[in-house]
Amino acid sequence: MAKNTYQSSDIEVPADLFKKVMLRLAAEQRLSVIRQRFAWAVVLLVVVLVAAIPVWRSFQLDVSQSGFIQYLSLAYYDYQMVLAYWQDFSLTLLESIPIVSTVELLSVVFLIIAITRSLARYSKVLFFNSSQAMLINKA
């Protein structure tokens, strides 16, 4: 039979090994959370982009029905009249803006910007694997 020559006193364990292992486990846990958030952000971005299509069409339809484009084009074609009656013209423009569609469209645009910003922050940590980025962007 072979004799076991391994002795526990033969190997020196670094003093900070436990600390390094625990820090790496914490970093992996943060990366796992960031991966999950990244995946949810991608799904949410796809959903918002799909929702943006009917919102954009609704906005276009409301703008064309309200006459806003016609009033706005008047500023280009007859700017002297617009300058002469600028108060009435601005009030007419304000009254013809489709508020609900505009708010819906701006909400979708701001959601897309916010989700894209989050995706950029998460991708910096995940794909460029910068240790400084992991410390700065704690999940």
Tens digits of residue pLDDT in 12-40? 878 888 898 999 898 889 888 999 999 99
Average of per-residue pLDDT across 112-131: 87
Decide: pTM greater than 0.85: no
- 110, part of any domain: yes
- 130, part of any domain: yes
- 32, part of any domain: yes
List the domain range (segments joined by +) for residue 59.
25-66+98-136
Question: How many domains are contained in the chain?
Answer: 1
Give the integer Cα–Cα distance in Å for 83 and 6: 95
- 107, part of any domain: yes
What average pLDDT does the chain have? Answer: 86
Tens digits of residue pLDDT in 53-91? 999 999 999 999 998 888 888 888 988 988 898 899 999
- 132, part of any domain: yes
Q: The tokens 């989050």 sit on which residue?
A: 118
- 116, part of any domain: yes
Q: Which of 99, 35, 87, 13 is nearest to 63 (CA)?
A: 99
